[in-house]
Copies of this chain bind each other. A is one copy, B any other.
Amino acid sequence: MPKTIVIPVTLDTKGEETKYIKDEIERKGHNTIVIDVGVLGEPLIKADITREEVAQAGGSSLRELVEAAEKGADRTEGTNVMISGVQKIVEELHSAGKLDGIISLGGSTGAALGTSAMSVLPIGIPKLMVSTGFELQFVGHKDIAMMQTPADILGLNSVMRKTLACAAGAIVGMVEAEVRGPIKPLVGITALGVTTPAVMRIKPLLEERGYDLIAFHTDTQVLDELVQEGRISGIIDLTTFEVMIPLTYHLPEELAEGRLRPAGEKGLPQVIVPGGLDMLILTGTKETVPPEYKDRVLHVHGPDRVLARTTKEEVGKAARILAERANRATGPVAIVIPLRGFSAVDQEGQHFYDPEADGAFAQVVKGIVKEGVEIVEVDAHINDDEFAKRVVDTYDRITAR
């Protein structure tokens, strides 16, 4: 079945290359929608959605943008209008079922425009940016693929024809991709290197019970997004250490309180574990540790990572925030606590072993959680078999409620 591939580009500078990609895609039996996001110059080929329409969707008019540019306005102002406009149009095309994939090409302004357009699309929709150089901020947390061109995008030649043919082939291959394999309920789990052994133990146990596991290191933005899209059936928030960052860096507590909030609002089953609450992750070496952490127990984790032991007070604060999140949740929640340590480095005999500080967690949550929030204390370390088993049992039990 033919698919539709959307191509947002600045047609005043990238007309020839866009036509090459468009023709290749169509030659393979798919449809294209070319969106012109240029402001100045003349479009070199005809757009399906014109720059006038993009400017209008962005809340301005092309004439206004051109006049402002002629009066010496900062180029970014016009770019921002076109970004809002193309984002709106791309969202509409996707909602209307008229977008199966997106490809863009350009230099740094073109890449900003192209990847902004991509960023509004759900994870899993094929997205390919072809650019003269990689800039990390354009990729963000989404599944945007980037292809670096060997030379400037400045007309066709034997080298660039090959690159553009590969890019067209890649996006076509992506939209034609068929997903094989069983679709099972997806349990989101959070991890760090220091809790990965626990994840590896939980994985087969969950699979035995008919779930698939999807793991996220450190960052939970994508997980939140998948929850919003209804693609996650439940959460094992095994590694809640992110909650520590605002607390120890004196950032607004809302940052910690916002963690995985959508799961609670959607009523997904949640198992919350104090994984990694024994540590704060600092960038740098022992010598560069900020003064306020200098006197703590420190642990060098890699050439550019030092861990600082968290205090009893900090663990308690984190416990309060997680307990309140549990109270607010509209679905079933359990807090499962490994009594013998929260990460690979606070096990008995390790640098961060500190039962008193860790103990604050159970103490605080017990005082705060409302009836119905189950608390399971396990006399094991987070990375022990026994703990994995209890987490999965608990998840399964609250899910059945």
Contacts and interface: CB of A to CB of B under 8 A. Distances in A.
A226 B186 contact: no
A266 interface: no
Contact of A144 (B148, B154, B171): B148
Given A136-B134, A173-B174, A174-B173, A180 B155 contact: no
B154 A212 contact: no
Given A146-B146, A159-B186, A215 B154 contact: yes
A231 B146 contact: no
A95 interface: no
Contact of A152 (B160, B168, B174, B217): B217
A222 B143 contact: no
A144, A148, A166, A199: residue with the most chain B Cβ atoms closer than 10 Å: A166
Interface string A19-43: 0100110000000000000000000
B147 A165 contact: no
Interface in A48-73: none
A178 B28 CA distance: 11
Q: How many copies make up the complex?
A: 2
A213 interface: yes
A181 B161 contact: yes
B222 A152 contact: no
Interface of A: prevailing SS = mixed
Query: Could you say which interface size class chain A belongs to?
Result: 35 or more
Contacts of A139: 134, 148
A124 B171 contact: no
A212 B154 CA distance: 11
Interface string A122-135: 01101010001010
Given A163-B143, A179-B165, A157 B191 contact: no
A166 B174 contact: yes
A151 B203 contact: no
Given A155-B212, A156-B181, A165-B178, 18 more contacts: A20-B180, A24-B180, A124-B162, A126-B166, A128-B145, A142-B148, A152-B191, A152-B215, A154-B213, A158-B179, A158-B231, A159-B231, A161-B179, A165-B180, A166-B173, A168-B177, A169-B174, A169-B177
27 contacts: A124-B163, A128-B170, A134-B146, A136-B136, A139-B148, A141-B150, A143-B149, A144-B148, A146-B146, A152-B217, A154-B203, A154-B213, A155-B212, A157-B184, A157-B213, A158-B186, A158-B231, A159-B186, A159-B231, A160-B214, A165-B180, A166-B173, A166-B177, A169-B172, A169-B176, A170-B170, A170-B174
